[in-house]
Amino acid sequence: MLLDPFSIAPLGSLKNRVAMSSMTRGFAGPNHLATPEMAAYYGRRAEDDVALILTEGTIVHLTGDGYNNVPHIETAVQAKSWAPVVQRVRSAGTLLFCQLWHCGRISHSDYTGGVPPVSSTDRPAEGINRQNGKPFGTPRALDPNEMTTIHRQFVDAAQNALSVGFDGVELHFGHGYLIDEFLDGSVNDRTDRYGGSVANRCRFALELLETVIGSVGADKVMVRLSPSREMEGIHDWPDMGAMLDYLVPAMSGLGLAMLDISCARSDYALTSGRVIRMVRPHWKGFLMGGASLSQEQAESEIRDGHLDMVTWGRFLLANPDFVGRLRAGAPLEEFSRDMLETLR
Ligand SMILES: Cc1cc2nc3c(=O)[nH]c(=O)nc-3n(C[C@H](O)[C@H](O)[C@H](O)COP(=O)(O)O)c2cc1C
């Protein structure tokens, strides 16, 4: 079942149910361009028959960057640098989505062109940013009249991605970055209409989603959420149940048809697997998730109707021939940190 072709709206025909989840690699070229090495890296996974690939997080606007050497898709030149990646992946019959990313306060003015990072709050994230060895920058809480500026950045990035042939975009609403900083009641300390109640905390995400769907169409848009994830231990959104009860139907009401539930390198059963069981009864659309699941676990999540496709990150990083190995019943290479040093 996992490895059999299938068809699902709005994606259409897929080679199988294996998806590569978004993984930041930090190998973009000067000016944040995608490179030929990146085309070869994604191409190898596509040629090995991964059915759907999500690119690494790709920054929508310089002021939303927070990492070393990550790709951007703010300008036409940056978008065009992705064309060889798209070409290589799509010619293998694999679908390719660009993950659109705004880091919010998980950043520093070293990365944003010198301006303070923006967030829902003016409290900095705790800890040291491993990217530059400095404490995270003190963010500036977005003013309500600036929200449309951020919407525009996502719309422009989505249009750029689609203009070079991506099959769709994934809006990164998870992992403690900008949109999650509004959703997560432990971060969002606002007292205006973007903070406080469940509906207010969801407002920024929903307005953004409505604008992007209005611009590029719902059949091109996936959302990644991480209501329960690793963050020095397992962290759930405060009032997670009430949040999901409100947010999921509201996103569906805006026409959203594709959802990716993630847990940022945590234990699936304790985090996203739990969330998926809360979401699924209320969600009619396409749903994917996963985190280092075994083939048997993946098959059973699909068979029991929890997931339509299963995402893998680190196993796909460690095994460019992941699908081939699953087909052959061959053992998988374990991920190790030294593998991050090259684009194998
Ligand atoms: C090196 C690395 C980089 C990652 N970068 C991103 C990213 O850019 N965007 C994102 O949504 N998740 C990112 N993740 C999380 C993965 O997409 C995935 O959800 C997580 O690794 C759990 O899946 P796994 O256990 O199969 O690796 C990253 C994970 C790794 C290991």
At residue 241, the pLDDT reads 96
Q: For 192-210, what is the mean pLDDT?
A: 98
The per-residue pLDDT for range 297-309, each reduced to its tens digit, is 999 999 999 999 9
What would the two tokens of residue 234 be? 């397992």
Please report the atom of ligand 1 found closest to the CA of residue 174.
11
Q: Whose CA is nearest to atom 11 of ligand 1?
A: 22
**Nearest-5° Cα angle at 335, 329 to 340:** 135
Sign for the CA dihedral angle at 157, 158, 159, 163 comes to: positive
HSE at residue 274, side-chain half, CA atoms within 13 A, is 16
Residue 8 CB coordination number (10 Å): 16
pLDDT classification of 232: cutoffs 50, 70, 90: confident
Distance (Å) from CA 192 to ligand 1 centroid: 33
Mean pLDDT of the residues in the chain: 97
Domains of the chain and CATH, by start? 6-341 (3.20.20.70)
pLDDT at 231 over 80: no
* Closest listed residue to residue 154, CA positions, set 209, 113, 111: 209
At residue 249, the pLDDT reads 97
Q: Is 312 in the pocket of ligand 1 (CB under 6 A)?
A: yes
Q: Is 104 in the pocket of ligand 1 (CB under 6 A)?
A: no
What would the two tokens of residue 274 be? 């739990």
Q: For 80-93, what is the mean pLDDT?
A: 98
Q: For 268-290, what is the mean pLDDT?
A: 95
d(CA 193, CA 75): 32
Residues of the chain above pLDDT 70, percent: 100
172 contacts 99 by C-beta, under 8 angstroms: yes
Q: Whose CA is nearest to atom 14 of ligand 1?
A: 23
What would the two tokens of residue 27 be? 């190998």
Catalytic residue among 41, 67, 177, 268: 177
Strands (E), the chain: 6-8, 12-14, 18-20, 52-54, 58-59, 95-101, 118-119, 128-129, 134-135, 140-141, 168-172, 221-225, 228-230, 234-236, 258-261, 286-289, 309-312
243 contacts 201 by C-beta, under 8 angstroms: yes
DSSP state of 62: G
d(CA 24, CA 249): 30
pLDDT classification of 329: cutoffs 50, 70, 90: very high
Distance (Å) from CA 313 to ligand 1 centroid: 5
- Ligand 1 pocket test: pick from 20, 22, 177, 228 the residue with the most ligand atoms within 8 Å of its Cβ: 22
Q: For 70-89, what is the mean pLDDT?
A: 98
Amino acid at 293: L
Q: For 160-189, what is the mean pLDDT?
A: 98
DSSP state of 87: H
pLDDT at 313 over 80: yes
HSE at residue 296, side-chain half, CA atoms within 13 A, is 0
Q: Whose CA is nearest to atom 23 of ligand 1?
A: 291
pLDDT classification of 88: cutoffs 50, 70, 90: very high
DSSP state of 72: B
Q: Are strands 221-225 and 258-261 parallel, antiparallel or unpaired?
A: parallel
What would the two tokens of residue 91 be? 């010619």
Q: For 259-266, what is the mean pLDDT?
A: 91
Cα-atom radius of gyration of the chain, to the nearest Å?
19
Q: Is 292 in the pocket of ligand 1 (CB under 6 A)?
A: yes
Q: For 213-232, what is the mean pLDDT?
A: 94
d(CA 21, CA 332): 17
228 contacts 240 by C-beta, under 8 angstroms: yes
At residue 230, the pLDDT reads 81
pTM over 0.95: yes
Distance (Å) from CA 21 to ligand 1 centroid: 6
At residue 65, the pLDDT reads 98
Please report the atom of ligand 1 found closest to the CA of residue 22.
17
Q: Whose CA is nearest to atom 20 of ligand 1?
A: 265
pLDDT at 54 over 80: yes
- Token pair 């975009």 in the structure block, residue: 169
Alpha-carbon separation of residue 335 from 53, 152, 240, 304, 312 (angstroms): 19, 37, 31, 28, 12
Whether residue 42 lies in the annotated active site: no
d(CA 256, CA 221): 7
pLDDT classification of 265: cutoffs 50, 70, 90: confident
Residue 12 CB coordination number (10 Å): 10
pLDDT classification of 34: cutoffs 50, 70, 90: very high
pLDDT classification of 198: cutoffs 50, 70, 90: very high
Residue 306 CB coordination number (10 Å): 17
* Closest listed residue to residue 168, CA positions, set 26, 275, 19: 19
Residue 298 CB coordination number (10 Å): 23
The per-residue pLDDT for range 103-160, each reduced to its tens digit, is 999 999 999 999 999 999 999 999 999 899 999 999 999 999 999 999 999 999 999 9
Q: For 64-69, what is the mean pLDDT?
A: 98
Q: Whose CA is nearest to atom 29 of ligand 1?
A: 23
